[in-house]
A and B are shown apart, each in its own frame.
Chain A
Amino acid sequence: MPYFTDKQTVLEDIFSRYPQTEQGRRSALMPLLREVQNALGYVPEAQMEEISTLIGTTATEVKSVMSFYSTYHTIPTGKWHIQVCATLSCALAGSDALWDDLTETLETVPGEVTPDKLFSVQKVECLGSCGTAPMLQVSDIGYAECVTRKKLHTLLEHLKNGGEFVPDTRVPVFMQGGQQLDALENEVGGRTADLEPLPMPG
């Protein structure tokens, strides 16, 4: 069944962000792929075809672009797609051991889905959150940060028991009332509020 048939408002919203030209239509490719993947967990061939018609290109083209990016999947993923950052700052915080534990606990490897359809796993590169290493990303929902062994197992149990994933939103920035805190939590430097804006010209 075509995915977008009953989703005209979604389509209109996506296309409205780009120029009403051939090139502009093509720009909608990535948001359309994400839309499908978030709903289905992957992008089936039929939807590549459907998207190609929407943006005026071929399914082969769509597939070629998809293969460029690591986010898009052409095979089904689990309800929870767990992505482990393998890059340096996370490796220094133990991501190798984390990965081993995760795959052993779930008894799965990349490309597979667990028999209960709940989990799939993937190693990914730096998630841009090296200050809260080691890092996990869960589906297209958000991050689990500073993941310890205990935290990982609590999370997996929670998801197995039908729980929802609630992303972490730690902000490793140490600011108080516009003033920065040093390592001993002392306020250092001046307060931003004390800066005087220039008068309006004219």
Chain B
Amino acid sequence: MPDYDVVVIGAGNGGLTSALTLAKAGRKVLLLERHNVPGGCATSFVRGRFEFEVALHQLSGMGSPENPGPLRAILGEMGVLDKLEFVEMENLYRVVVPGQFDITLKCERNLITRELQDRFPKEKEGIVKFFDLVYDCSMQMIQGLFFHDPEISKEKYPLYFKYALKNTQDILDGFFDDPLLKAVLSIYWSYLGVPPSSLPFGEFAIMLFAYIEFKPYHLKGGSQALSNALLDEYLRGGGEVRFNCAAKRIIVADSRVKGVITEDGDTISTDYVVSNASTLLTYIELIGREHIPAGQMEQFKSSTIGPAAFTVYAGLDCEPGEVGIQETTNFISTTTDMDGAFGKWKTLEQQGVSLLTCYDVSDPDFSPPGTCQAAIVALQYAEPWYSVPPQQYYDTKYRYADGLLNLAERVFPGFRGHIEEVEASTPLTHLRYLGHPGGAIYGFDQYAKDSTLFLSPRSAIKGLYFAGAWVGSGGFQPTLTSGRTSGRAILKSMRKQQ
């Protein structure tokens, strides 16, 4: 008898739902986490009287109890819904081009269309047609793919088959002339980490559709509350966890998982491992050259490490309204050239698109009374940070953060004067806390070629499974879902063995 039925490496979103799915099914599970808290990205940290949310800006796929989305269903299945309090956001987002343009989109298709038509009267018709396409394409994707229609075909779902892999920029160019309108409509590209010119339209459409239909959410206590709730349920279900305990090796023999060695030198026997660590490091560090299946390194060759983020976490000693913050989600864009903005992610130059989220607008209890917090985030690759000499790291970080704070000040005059606490994190910060190459928060870059249409997340090593952003898309909803998927796959394989 092996020590455990399954060892799960990493307590990020994917690791947690995987471990929980298995524990709930009565399996003996051990969860190993190198850090001292569960959550991976889904975490928080405390400075002064503020608890800063690290990652969650807008939770997708939740939906209301009356109109539940796929994520609500999963969290219900995980048994954590009644331990958490979800907060629906009133509006989709605001886009500001400082000194030039300012628009807030509601969370309803008709209202969005009307607002956009008022602001861009010349594009009236295109706006209607664009949303028709977004919706129709998404519906076909849901019916054909998510509900696994066995009769899926080009004829039955023509829009999906025509547009899914087209790039989003081409679609936008086909409908609209005004670059500002295109920027406003496609601003969620920055959540996916790929600029409209290389973003598969299918993915963009379903994301926009889901945020509008299921509304963006946050939750009380932030994403750490979710991670804690999942872990709590896991422990109640008999699961075991070790924090501050990284997996150092996965023992493989004859292309089968045999066990795991921890950083403390413990050897744990098991036939199944779920890795929530990056697929890349799982192979090159944990499994080791001699056991990497043939073809695996070739498969990696076509992928590139995705972006991390630069974030300024600011705690203000005033209510949001006092500095003019009226919306939770504020995209600040100094350009309408999205390819140009994406290009800056690989530099230390000031970003073209950043996002200021103020949770207190939707949830007045988020920060202590009379205060609020704002996270100003700009996605960024780790590369430029690798070439900063360690001795200049802190100065460079502050200089970069200063630029983002100045931007916030332009949109919200008085912002800087109210700062009581501020912390900045770089891609190297994510690298440190997640242990992922490049600190990547969405795994590999998600170009069309990186989708599961082309790459199989399955391993040639028997008993090895993955969960999280490195096998599929990043983001809360996809990673929470992926853990359940791998957990179920293991249960299925176990049933077959018996």
Q: Do A and B come from one complex?
A: no
- Residues of chain B at the chain A interface (Cβ within 8 Å): none
